[in-house]
Amino acid sequence: MVPREIRACANEDRLRSTPNLDRIAKAGMRFDNCFCTNSICTPSRAAILTGQYSNKNGVYTLNDRLDPNRNHVAKELQRGGYQTAMIGKWHLASDPTGFDYWNILPGQGVYHDPTFIKLGERKQYTGYCTDLIADFTLDWLKQRDPKKPFFAMCHHKAPHRPWEPGPKYKDLFNGQCVDKCPAGQQRNPANGMCVPIPASVWINRSAARSRSAI
């Protein structure tokens, strides 16, 4: 089972049960028609923050740095009186700006016993990255001023490769059969996802079937 293939909210797949996500989707708001202007990790983060294309915000690749002086959504909300926080994977080379509180992974970070940078100071923690990011976010939410609006960005490292599950989920799907790919698709051995079968493969398979029938 590959994390990126898990579907939530749109079905009731027994194997890929996501009751908490389903509850949030039912009670909140879903973006069913959302578009990404740059899908690769770092440029995507910059685009989401700034609301700008890569040629405007200057972040084109995984190694590019977001200018800390550039305006973005957290700065606008902070100026409007919001409490702001950034927790988890930042991956924009510069330190976060526009956030009252930030606690981020250095670069990609790691899944097990990760180091975080909290307001400029590094500290290693014991535990699984996803759990720690969730706990740090909840801790911040609990200590914020409930009388003021807030904007919190909770950025998980998962499901970035290498796919290393936490101890409590390591054997979650043992003994269960993962459903087959739809017709016309096959498993990508690199990541386990269903992808369209190339036309050349279809032709070769058809030719092989024809020869075997002679």
Q: Hey, which residues are catalytic here?
A: 41, 91
Residue 19 has a CB neighbour count (10 Å cut-off) of 8
Residue 89 contacts residue 105 (beta carbons within 8 Å) = yes
3-state SS assignment for residue 154:
strand
Residue 178 has a CB neighbour count (10 Å cut-off) of 13
| Torsions phi, psi for 136 (to 5 deg) | -65, -40
Residue 133 contacts residue 106 (beta carbons within 8 Å) = no
